[in-house]
Each structure stands twice: as structure tokens, then as C-alpha cells.
Amino acid sequence: MSRAETSSAAAPAVRPELGAGASILICRPNTRLGNTVLLTPLVEELQHSLPEAQIEILTACPAAAEIFQEFPAVRRVHALPFRGVRHPLNYLRTLLAVRRKRYDVIIDPCPNSWTARFLTHHLAGGLKVGFTIPRAEQGVDVSVPFQDAPRHMGAYPVYLARRALFGLDPKSARADEVTLNVRLTDAEREYGRREVRRLLGGEMHSPVIAVATHATGSKRFALGWWQRLIDELHTRLPAARFIEIRPPAGRASLPALPGFSSRRTREVAAVIDAVQCFVCADSGLMHLGAATDTLTAGLFKVTLPQLYAPRRGRSCALEASDAAPEATAARLAQMLR
């Protein structure tokens, strides 16, 4: 099938390109932490269905190597410079390194990235798959219509692989709930527990709630809003202890709380994993929290929860208002009880 849309009748059961040890490149040249964590269900799907596959990832996220380091099928992460226009030689050097290899399969998992489609088109691959997108029909060999895909950003790359590579019909390709996962090791989990005990002076008998106030643009809540939220949670859950997850530079938004910061993404994930609940606005940090075993509550006021809700276990999206942190605290307290 050359440069054509898949259909439930036309798609083969397993494509011949997917033999033992097939080389697969995931082309997602995006800088954001959240979008990178949202690729973990796709990698899990490929590992499960193709246990001998050798996966490489093309990305511009500085934390990508950490995110995928515990996935045995991920053999290499090709990291484009974080701001490529400022480092054109490094950008070109990375692309040339990827271009020198011919992959059995190249996956463009994003339905609306012109850059990903352009790179997919110009890299060397035996089979290139992606969603049908306007003005970029010629970049892939197998194009999957997006209208039947699940709308969550962690789910539709899995849907794409199931349709384009494994021949599932739309209903079967949507069948299973996908979850985020950074695969923390036992040693990392123990590190997280030690850090939380250190922050709280050895006390971990009461529930511990971590909060992170930072977010971009209109997704951000004012610091006064956060303080009112914490005060209300103190009233409803008197035994609860609080810590703040701070940006890598360590700047405190809530200086009255013990704070943790690290430039190592997996250390931050390990500390979040050690608490009972993590509360933050819709952000990359929210998806990192949802990729651990901790109940992560993402607060939404401008973005669509069906696209970005934290996806794992009891983690959930809560619609929040700038005017009513007490209502949000009441819902959180009910969940924690």
C-alpha cells in the first residue's frame, strides 16, 4: 500500500517490515517534557508487541534520555538542540547522524506537526507511517485517518501503531486504556522516600501532599490561590503534610513549605512517587507525576482535559476556577479520604 490511507479491510495483520529485531525510529522533535512523557505508552506498546525491536527516538526534549532510559527496547535517543535555531551546526550534525541509518519503520506520531512530517519524509526508512494531515499527505507511506482516534495525546500514537503496523480495525485499536510510565527502579523509589523523609524531618506517618505551582501562561494559578488551597486542605485534612516541588533552579513559590528541586527529571519523579498525592496545574510536570504510582491531580482551567488529563491509576483531571480554590480543595480532600 503506497501513500494511501489504511482501512480495516486493507491493513495486513503484521507488516513484513516488523521482523525480529526491526529498527524503528519515533520522530517527535518536540522540546516539551509533557509531550515526551506522553510517548511512553507508544514505546510500551511497541515493546510489548515487538519484544525484539530496536527503537530510537528523535527529540528536542532535554529530558528525553532520562525518560526512556529504563525501556530496554530504546537503544538510542537522538537529542536535537533545545533551541535549534541558536545551534544550527549541532542541529544539522544530529540530523545527519540519523539520516545515515536506514530504519525499517519511521513513525510520525503527531497529527499536526509539520516539522515531524518534514523530517519523516526526508529520513531513510523502509516504511513511514503517520496520521493523515492537511498539506503533508506525501510524507508517509501509510496514512491513518485521525477522526476515529482517541483524543488523548498519550492514546492516539498507540492507536496509530495498532492501525498502521498491526492491522487492527478502529474499534480494536481503541480498546485498551493506555497509561504513562517512566519505569522507576526500586533504587529510585527508595531515593524518593529518603528525600521526603529528609524534607519532613523523618516524619512520613501522615499523608504527604506535594504541590507544584509553576505552569505556562494562562494555565498558571496565582500564588494566593495556592495558599488558599493549602489552607483549606489543612482544615479538611489536619494530619496532612505538604511539600513543594520547585523548578530546577530551586526558586520557592511557597517558602513556608519544605521544597525539593533537581535538574534530574527522574529524581523529581522519584520524590513525587514517594508522596500520597501530587497536585499541579496542567503541565509537563503533571504528566511526569502521572507516570509514577502517585495519585496525580491535574488542575485545568483553559486546556481540554480529554486531550491532556493525567493517565494512570486514580490520577485525574479537575476543572478548577481562579475564584474558587476552596471548591478544588474539597474535591481533593474527598479523593484522599
Classify residue 115: in a domain, yes or no.
yes
- Number of separate domains in the chain: 2
CB 172 within 8 A of CB 57: no
Same structural domain, 192 and 287: yes
DSSP reduced 3-state for 17? coil
Classify residue 293: in a domain, yes or no.
yes
Same structural domain, 153 and 221: no
DSSP reduced 3-state for 119? helix
Compute the distance between CA of residue 269 and CA of residue 23 in angstroms, rounded to an integer: 29
Average pLDDT over residues 204-215: 91
pLDDT for 85 equals 66
Same structural domain, 111 and 26: yes
Classify residue 180: in a domain, yes or no.
no
Cell 480498546, located at residue: 175
Classify residue 178: in a domain, yes or no.
no
DSSP reduced 3-state for 74? strand
- Asked whether residue 4 carries a pLDDT value surpassing 80, the answer given is no
pLDDT for 17 equals 76
> DSSP H helical segments within 214-304, as ranges?
223-236, 265-273, 284-290
Classify residue 231: in a domain, yes or no.
yes
Same structural domain, 231 and 332: yes
Last residue of a domain, one of 143, 173, 203: 173
Compute the distance between CA of residue 280 and CA of residue 318 in angstroms, rounded to an integer: 10
- Asked whether residue 298 carries a pLDDT value surpassing 60, the answer given is yes
Same structural domain, 9 and 150: yes
Closest residue by Cα to residue 11 from 119, 143, 149, 128: 143
Average pLDDT over residues 130-149: 84
Same structural domain, 261 and 318: yes
Evaluated on CA atoms 36, 39, 44, 50, the torsion sign reads negative
One-letter amino acid for residue 166 of the chain: F
Last residue of a domain, one of 173, 203, 234: 173
DSSP-derived secondary structure for 128-167: EEEE--TT-GGG-SEEE-STTS-SSTTTHHHHHHHHHTT-
pLDDT bin (cut points 50, 70, 90) of residue 10 is very low
Classify residue 181: in a domain, yes or no.
no
Residue numbers of the domain that contains 75: 4-173
Same structural domain, 131 and 222: no
pLDDT for 11 equals 43
Classify residue 179: in a domain, yes or no.
no
Q: What is the CATH number of the domain that holds 76?
A: 3.40.50.2000
Angle of CA points 93, 94, 97, to nearest 5°: 90
- Asked whether residue 8 carries a pLDDT value surpassing 50, the answer given is no
Same structural domain, 300 and 157: no
pLDDT for 18 equals 84
CB 106 within 8 A of CB 25: yes
pLDDT for 13 equals 56
- Asked whether residue 330 carries a pLDDT value surpassing 60, the answer given is yes
- Asked whether residue 86 carries a pLDDT value surpassing 90, the answer given is no
Angle of CA points 179, 30, 19, to nearest 5°: 60
pLDDT bin (cut points 50, 70, 90) of residue 104 is very high
Average pLDDT over residues 261-282: 97
54-58, 130-134, 196-200: segment of lowest average pLDDT: 130-134
Same structural domain, 141 and 285: no
Give residue 49's Cα distance to chain centre: 20
- Asked whether residue 190 carries a pLDDT value surpassing 90, the answer given is yes
Tally of CA atoms within 13 A in the half-sphere of 244 that contains its CB? 19
Q: Which helix (H) or strand (E) holds 6?
A: none
Last residue of a domain, one of 173, 206, 234: 173
Q: What is the DSSP letter of 177?
A: P
Same structural domain, 127 and 236: no
Same structural domain, 240 and 288: yes
Average pLDDT over residues 125-130: 95
Residue range 19-69, pLDDT digits in tens: 889 999 999 999 999 999 999 999 999 999 999 999 999 999 999 999 999
- Asked whether residue 267 carries a pLDDT value surpassing 70, the answer given is yes
> DSSP H helical segments within 19-155, as ranges?
33-37, 40-49, 64-67, 88-99, 114-122
Same structural domain, 140 and 226: no
Work out the burial of residue 227: count CB atoms within 10 Å of its CB; fewer than 13 is exposed, 13-18 middle, 19 or more buried: middle
Residue range 310-327, pLDDT digits in tens: 999 889 999 999 999 999
Average pLDDT over residues 192-216: 92
